[in-house]
Amino acid sequence: MEAMSLSNRIGIFGGSFDPLHLGHLVIAQDAAEKLGLSEVIFIPAAIPPHKQHLQQSSAEHRLNMLNEVLESDTRFSVSDIEMQRGGVSYSFETVRALKGEYPAVELVLIVGTDTLVDLHNWYNIDELLELCEVASFMRPGESDISRIREKIQLTEKNRERVLNNTFESHMIGISSSEIRMRVSQGLEIRYLVPAEVEKYIFENGLYKG
């Protein structure tokens, strides 16, 4: 799909960001360009619904790492809305709150295409899709969206809607779990995370256990 013209559209990029890495930043940049976004808001989850037993570092540390990296980039911002709310973080509640705060703005939820097959399990998914657009980006190793089509368990209208809003992105095979593992094993993470994140991790002794 071709990039859209810049308009009053804001991207919502949620996740645990434990830690933030270069793959996150590349997807956010691709989303801003391809979707014509005026801003991308990074929203770290208080407790991600699918990672309730995997959290490694505190909300404060994850938020600090985001702020240190993104404060100098005017395209990106950070919101602690889910951390302030506390508990398990559901996208529906976050988007509904942001819609109330920015009623005239078109909100675009940024996800990976691998997420599409699980959307039917999301809290109030039909209502969420009424509040915002969902745009997905292909992960490293993905090339055939047709195999994902068969696994999406949404209404036909919503399935086609999300599939028609799928984009290619720069393929960077980095994961936060790999970075945590490398730190715990004493391996280098330079060139996988921003310099600010690398410094913060080691100054605060994160992921050593």
The domain in which residue 178 lies consists of 9-203
Structural domain contains residue 47? yes
Instruction: Give the pLDDT score at 143.
Output: 64
Within 8 A by CB and 6+ apart from 183, the residues are 189, 201, 206, 207, 208
Residue 178 C-beta-side C-alpha neighbours within 13 Å: 12
Structural domain contains residue 20? yes
Structural domain contains residue 2? no
**Residue range 92-120: mean pLDDT, rounded:** 95
**Residue range 121-145: mean pLDDT, rounded:** 89
Residue 108 has pLDDT above 50, yes or no: yes
Band (pLDDT 50/70/90 cuts) for residue 47 is confident
**Residue range 58-68: mean pLDDT, rounded:** 96
Which two three-digit tokens encode residue 111? 């996800």
Structural domain contains residue 169? yes
Q: How large a percentage of the chain has pLDDT more than 90? A: 79
Mean pLDDT of the chain: 91
Closest CA to 26 of 135, 149, 174: 174
Residue 55 has pLDDT above 70, yes or no: no
Residue 111 has pLDDT above 70, yes or no: yes
With 0-12 / 13-18 / 19 or more C-beta atoms within 10 angstroms meaning exposed / middle / buried, residue 136 is buried
Structural domain contains residue 209? no
Structural domains in the chain (count): 1
Closest CA to 134 of 160, 155, 153: 160
Distance CA 171, CA 26 (A): 9
Structural domain contains residue 173? yes
Torsion (CA) 64, 171, 123, 81 in degrees, nearest 10: 20
Give residue for tokens 């590349």. Answer: 26
Residue 4 has pLDDT above 90, yes or no: no
Instruction: Give the pLDDT score at 62.
Output: 96
Distance CA 18, CA 55 (A): 8
Residue 110 has pLDDT above 60, yes or no: yes
Structural domain contains residue 1? no
Q: pLDDT tens, 168-197?
A: 898 788 999 999 999 999 999 999 999 999
Q: Give me the CATH number covering residue 130.
A: 3.40.50.620
Band (pLDDT 50/70/90 cuts) for residue 5 is very low
Task: Count H helices and E strands in the chain, helices first.
Answer: 9, 6
Structural domain contains residue 135? yes
Distance CA 57, CA 108 (A): 28
Instruction: Give the pLDDT score at 3.
Output: 39
Give SS3 for 124.
Answer: coil
